[in-house]
Structure 1
Amino acid sequence: MKTPATIEWVRAFNNQAIKDGLPHLGALCVFMFATAARIGESSRLRWGNVDLPRRIARLDLFKPTPWSREAHLPPELVMALANLPSNRKPDELVFDYAGRGSVRGAWSNVCKRAGIERLTLHCCRHGFATSMLHMGFDVKTVADMGGWKDATTVLRTYAHAVKDKTVSDALFDTRVTHEAHGESLTDYKRREKSE
């Protein structure tokens, strides 16, 4: 089982990549974690498929059958993309990498210099699913947002993600739940409704 990337790992990787003069590699990492994009989808992404003001990107996958999906770009990712040196021509590759092979060496070096575990490119996709499930999002939402065609794939692959037996405390909105999550379930729902 691959170790899923965490937001802390992604930020450490991105910060080191920027220090190393590799902003495209750092942004690629943030992109794959934030959108659950595969390396094939990410390396083929062109500026013509990115709409920063609307915070979306169209991703194309060609195997096993061709299909496309629209991915939401969180603000931290929009900032990483907006800061990339580029003339933003519609046919220009966003990340300047041709694929997995052209990324591997630089990826490993950034991990080493950052002093973080060397995770694979695909660990960012695993991190997306695992993080979303840990935050309590349902499997169908995770599948839709991450580009899995079938929620059962997410369930089968990532059902291990929530093994904390104390999660049932949330049913009672207890002090333990409040301390673990920084706010009670009731407060969270109130905040969610007001946004």
Structure 2
Amino acid sequence: MRKHAVKYENKMKADADGDDYVDPEDGTITLRDLAEEAAEEAAGDGTRIQHRYYATQLGDVGDTPIGQIKRRHLQRWVNSLTEGRPWADGKPLGETTARNVGVWVCGLMKRAKKDRRIKTNPAEDLVLPDPIVEVLPSDIPTVDQVHKLMTVARSGGWATVSATDKSGRPATRRKKTLRNPDFARLIGFMASTGMRPSEIAGLRWQDISDDMTRLTVTVQATRDGKGTKPPKTKAGVRTIPLCLEVRDILVEQREHGKAGPAGTVFGTRRGARHNAGSLVDLWGKFCEPAGLDHLTLYCLRHFYASMQIHAGTSPVAVSRTMGHKTSSITMQVYTHLWNNDLDLVAGAVSSLLWASDGQNALGGGADVIDFPGQTG
């Protein structure tokens, strides 16, 4: 009784002083036990079962007291979910499942901090796998739309902005957008390489081969644009082939464009490095004048993938150039584009199985068809 009374007294004193009181004993509960508590408190059987399944994916970090868990411990665990789980013979989880498990642990740690079991939440800045969302046809711009965006960025256009009239009532007015040839080249470059906005913002001349036939993605810009960092996954480090038109873009950018610091290919008007956010802001300035404000900058990445798929590039090759961890991710994201090949499947079956000899087999008495590599 005395121990509980002292604990309560300390908590009340901390509340009065505006401090976050944490009893040292509360931090000794393991993450796995915390998960079991959450399962017991679940309202329904389905949620309880889900909690307990997620708890089986905790690995060694599950046996660590929550007061001793650091962000690096959780990040290492999250990475192992998709790269290979030591507790499951090295088998990885799918991206979506891994993300769900990670979100669940973030929720557990957030609740632990709210309940004053830990002072800080080590899961606050955890990098989780990206959710896999199928790209729809409406998310992919046409060739004409890409060209139109480049034209508007190069020559400028009109945008509608919010304003007020003389009486103070809301109104709208037209505003001329500044021409930005650098961004026009960047649009063409992104549509031709499928690079992520942060990767283009961090692209350096040293990452491009001397003959400009390929580039290697090795860094991406940080969120504040003040520096660079490695890609989020190993698959993000990749080589992308460059067509002749992209080489022309690069030559023009080198001769007339604004470079960023440390040899960055695409810089701001003031010579600073872009970040993903600044590129998204620029994109918005030219979408409305082009009549394409339903499109996002990321659509150019989808455009590149769709062009590859329509050209007959294999899922493995598309996955490599896009920087996806596995080709299964590529298939999930762009599944509807490969579904367009269903007629080709029927044609292949018709030409192989139901060739002239195969048709005779329907009537009986036909010879057995020998396929290449068949051994009986």
TM over 0.5: yes
Q: Could you tell me which residue of structure 1 aligns to residue 145 of structure 2?
A: 9
Which of 315, 319, 335 is matched with 1:159 structurally?
335
Output the amino acid matched with 1:73: L
8 Å Cα contact 1:4-1:126 kept in structure 2: yes
8 Å Cα contact 1:47-1:89 kept in structure 2: no
**1:30 maps onto 2:188 in alignment:** yes
Which of 73, 79, 82 is matched with 2:248 structurally?
79
- When residues 163 and 89 of structure 1 are mapped into structure 2, their CA distance, relative to the original with a 3 A threshold, is closer
Q: Could you tell me which residue of structure 1 aligns to residue 217 of structure 2?
A: 59
Aligned equivalents of 1:71 and 1:45: distance in 2? 12
Which of 133, 136, 154 is matched with 1:18 structurally?
154
**1:136 maps onto 2:312 in alignment:** yes
Q: Could you tell me which residue of structure 2 aligns to residue 68 of structure 1?
A: 237
Deviation at 1:53, TM superposition (A): 2.1
Q: Could you tell me which residue of structure 1 aligns to residue 55 of structure 2?
A: none
Deviation at 1:117, TM superposition (A): 4.5
Output the amino acid matched with 2:183: L
Taking only the aligned residue pairs, the percentage that are identical comes to: 24
Aligned equivalents of 1:80 and 1:139: distance in 2? 27
Deviation at 1:38, TM superposition (A): 0.6
Aligned equivalents of 1:156 and 1:89: distance in 2? 36
Q: Secondary structure at the match of 1:91?
A: helix
C-alpha distance after superposition, 1:42-88 (max 9, x if no partner): 10011222236232222124343465222111122221221122487
Q: Secondary structure at the match of 2:215?
A: strand
TM-score between both structures, scaled by the size of structure 2: 0.41
Q: Secondary structure at the match of 2:288?
A: helix
C-alpha distance after superposition, 1:92-112 (max 9, x if no partner): 221115112212232112112
Which structure has more relative contact order (CA 8 Å, sep 6+)? It is 1
Aligned equivalents of 1:51 and 1:88: distance in 2? 17
**1:93 maps onto 2:251 in alignment:** no
- When residues 48 and 88 of structure 1 are mapped into structure 2, their CA distance, relative to the original with a 3 A threshold, is farther
TM-score between both structures, scaled by the size of structure 1: 0.75
The more displaced of 88-97 and 44-53 is: 88-97
C-alpha distance after superposition, 1:106-148 (max 9, x if no partner): 2112112222344212111111222221222211121122222
Aligned residues: 173
C-alpha RMSD of the superposition: 2.7
Aligned equivalents of 1:32 and 1:25: distance in 2? 10
Which of 286, 290, 312 is matched with 1:110 structurally?
286
CA radius of gyration, larger in: 2
8 Å Cα contact 2:233-2:325 kept in structure 1: no
Output the amino acid matched with 1:152: S
Aligned equivalents of 1:170 and 1:90: distance in 2? 54
The more displaced of 159-168 and 140-149 is: 159-168
Aligned equivalents of 1:52 and 1:16: distance in 2? 31
8 Å Cα contact 1:46-1:90 kept in structure 2: no
Output the amino acid matched with 1:93: T
Aligned equivalents of 1:5 and 1:75: distance in 2? 22
Output the amino acid matched with 1:28: L
8 Å Cα contact 1:47-1:91 kept in structure 2: no
Aligned equivalents of 1:148 and 1:35: distance in 2? 14
The more displaced of 141-150 and 32-41 is: 141-150
Q: Could you tell me which residue of structure 2 aligns to residue 43 of structure 1?
A: 201
- When residues 167 and 26 of structure 1 are mapped into structure 2, their CA distance, relative to the original with a 3 A threshold, is farther
